[in-house]
Amino acid sequence: MSIDPQRAIELVRQAPRVAILSGAGMSAESGVPTFRDALTGLWSNFDPKDLATESAFRQNPRRVFSWYLHRLAHVRRVEPHAGYRALVALERQKGATPIVTQNVDGLHRQAGSRNVIELHGSLTSFCCVDRRHPFPLDDVLKLVGVNSEELAPPRCRKCGSWIRPGVVWFGETLPADAITRAWKAVEDADVLLVIGTSAVVYPAADLPLYAKSKGTTVIEINPEPTSFTPFADVFWKATAGAALPEIV
């Protein structure tokens, strides 16, 4: 593993096909707290793993729904930083540059990336907890700003069950098509950029090692080393907002 940014830049420049795997660190410089830091205020004494589950939602729908409503309202106020715009420029230079993201904030799409694979769903999609009947985002947005510490979620108009966020919770399987597209994207790539993930949540955390097993060169961009760092071809100790514009 080398820690040479210049080598990382050259590897990306020479690669015909580049794929991206992003985690919550990708959004930190846009003001979206990382997943492990996402618990402020009302939720600060919870572990995200204890909130991001269906059982937590069924036990306390108000608490979990309010946490997601708070996060949705926040991401609607932030902008993608220069690192996001660099990935859009990279896509223009290289053609298809699939972005596999663990994030649910929608910032890659908002920046203009066209080939985004959302492994864990999105904060902007809602459905009912019993039958997954879709529920309009606009009807959820009407609840944003309602002065209430813990808001009761709306009820499904078809089956009456609680409305939940359309994200993948712990213990839930990832969308099959997202898995298929993500694993193919990293297999087909010459270089995989792994940006801003602590590489602890599976099966997403399998992707960088899977890429290496298929001969893909893997570059990790993170201000801190992770459990994956020893396996990276290059570890670029930097933030996404600083490193990515240097590449393009």
DSSP states along 159-177:
T-PBEEEEEPPTTSPPPHH
Choosing from 70, 74, 108, 120, which is the catalytic residue? 120
Residues 143-182: x/- map of binding to ligand BV8 (CB under 6 A)? ------------------------xxxxxxx---------
Burial of 138 (0-12, 13-18, 19+ CB in 10 A): exposed
120 is catalytic: yes
Between 25 and 208, name the residue whose CB sits nearer to ligand BV8.
Answer: 25
Give the largest Cα separation in the chain, rounded.
Answer: 57
Please report, as residue ranges, which positions from 74 to 113 form the binding site for ligand BV8 (by CB under 6 A): 102, 104
Q: Is 234 in the site for ligand BV8 (CB under 6 A)?
A: no
Q: How far apart are CA 248 and CA 234, in angstroms?
A: 17
Q: How many angstroms separate the CA atoms of 246 and 156, rounded?
A: 47
- State how far the alpha carbon of 25 is from the alpha carbons of 7, 132, 140, 147, 226, in Å: 22, 30, 27, 30, 12
Among 42, 96, 152, 200, binds ligand BV8 (CB under 6 A): 200
Residues 36-55 that bind ligand BV8 (CB under 6 A): 36, 49, 52
Residue 15 in the binding site for ligand BV8 (CB under 6 A):
no
35 contacts ligand BV8 (rule: CB under 6 A)? yes
Cis peptide bond N-terminal to 203, omega within 30: yes
Which two tokens mark 53?
Answer: 């589950």
CB of 242 to ligand BV8, least distance (A): 8
Catalytically annotated residues: 120
Residues lying near ligand BV8 in the complex (CB under 6 A) are found at 23-25, 28-29, 34-36, 49, 52, 102, 104, 120, 167-173, 196-198, 200-204, 222-224, 226, 239-240
